[in-house]
Amino acid sequence: MPVELRKRKAPAAPAAPAPPAKKASRATAKANPVKVAAAKVKAAVTGKNTKKPAATAEAKNATNGASNAAPPNDSTGKVKVGGVVALDGFGGEVETHDGEKTTLKTLVDASKNGVVLFTYPKASTPGCTTQACLFRDAYTSLTSTGLSIYGLSTDPPKANTTFKTKQNLPYPLLCDPGATLIGAIGMKKSPKGTIRGVFVVSKEGKVLAAEPGSPAATVEVVKKLVGGDQANGVATDAAGKESDEKNEDVKKAEVAGEVADTAAKLDGDVDGSGAIAKA
């Protein structure tokens, strides 16, 4: 019997390889560069627009946070002249040169018309000695309106006691090693140290002065405040005196009128009805 031969299936033709993506994109770019550039611009613009709401939301939250926060005394956070500070706890606790613990509120309460704090970097140094002695020499006039004067530094009690004794200072010196009160009145130097300056506060906690300055300038600040108070006092006294003089003139006129009426009655024999009696 003859052998039957079977035909083999022809192998499938291999699939044509896909063109590389890079070559295709290059070809596309070469084919239509304007469209490709436009697509890139559109993608960039779309990306920015999607990010913008988030940025706006963050800015809005920041604005709301700022409005809810308590505003500082001024743009730098320092005490502001004309503003009123809450004296309770203000500046923390300090110590006098003789070791007594105290606070600004205690000093203000004990004063007649307010407190002057002049700050100095270091006791017994030339500039600080000049400043302390200027306040010493003008002490009587500076305290004439009821202000109490204190020197303030980060020096320890021993250094300030020596300073006070040697220069014969008539006012107490306050020791603030942690610079809590110095910082509260805006006279703390960053990162460390004390700015020479002067701070004046009234009995009601109103800030009358708060500024840095030279030894002489710090004294002049207080002199101007005291001079203004004295001028106001003189004006008040003058107004009171003028009022008293006017009242005295009125009284004299009234007395003169009564004397004239009495004389007229005696000369004209005025009867009880006020009519002059006939002879």
The radius of gyration computed from the CA coordinates of the chain, to the nearest angstrom, equals 45
Catalytic site residue 133?
no
User: How far apart are alpha carbons 39 and 35 in whole angstroms?
Assistant: 6
User: How far apart are alpha carbons 75 and 120 in whole angstroms?
Assistant: 25
**Terminal alpha carbon distance of the chain:** 200
What's 72's DSSP letter? P
**CB of 219 closer than 8 Å to CB of 138:** yes
Active-site residue among 128, 134, 175, 222? 128
**Strand 114-119 versus strand 147-153 pairing type:** parallel
146: left (phi over 0), alpha (psi -120 to 50) or beta: left
Angle at 156 between CA 194 and CA 176, to 5 degrees: 45
Q: Which positions are annotated as active-site residues?
A: 128
